Amino acid sequence: MHRTRLALVAAPVLTGLLLSAAPAHAEPVKRKDIVGAVATAKVFPAFKDVSIAKFEEDTFSYLSSGPDYLDCSENRTAKGTSGMLVDGFDYEDGRSLRVSGQVVRFKRVAKAKRIFAAVRRHVRLCDNYWMGVDTTQRPAPAPKVGDQRIGYRLTERFAPELDEPTRHTIAIAIRDGRRVATLSVERTKRIPAKRFAKLARIAATKMK
């Protein structure tokens, strides 16, 4: 009898401990799990007047990794169980400011690994491709965050007759457990890797 009563008392306590010990990335992605206006403007003050919004989005978008520019330009998607998207931009008067990112949770770690591997493969294989504009891509330094990560830079050069400034983007892709995230910042001047690393670390902390 005493053993039965002890088991009945201990069971809910043990269950509560197991639930509280569950990793955060096992839960659905929430608004707090992705960077927003405050964090972005703190690292990049030029964004303080840019409208930055968050949306629920459980589909992860990425580019394919074929050997030629046609394949490298192909958009692909992967369905997750939950996710968030952030986006904010200002293209008035040649400012060309934009921050964008996504965090998506997948059902299995194996799928998250496959998606991250596809992003990494694209960065390594696709150094130049066409996305409505001539785009050059190069690997870039990335802070040591998450279980896996890769940094990269994009340079978009428009045709002279369009009279558009060259756009420079620095970005990072991160996998942490079942979650995969990307974050990028764009402007007309080259972005220092050390400054972007500050925002990337905030993003990595939030996505867990």
Q: List the chain domain ranges.
A: 24-207
Looking at domain 24-207, its CATH superfamily turns out to be PknH-like extracellular domain (3.40.1000.70)
State both tokens at 108: 């299995």
Per the model's pLDDT, the better-predicted residue between 25 and 12 turns out to be 25
Weakest mean pLDDT among 86-90, 128-132, 189-193: 128-132
Weakest mean pLDDT among 106-110, 127-131, 172-176: 127-131
B/e letters for 22-59, b = 16+ CB within 10 Å, e = fewer, are: eeebeeebeeebbbbbebbbebbeebeebebebeebbe
Average pLDDT score over residue span 40-67: 91
Average pLDDT score over residue span 196-200: 98
| Average pLDDT of the chain, as a whole number | 87
* pLDDT score for 24: 53
Weakest mean pLDDT among 24-28, 34-38, 90-94: 24-28
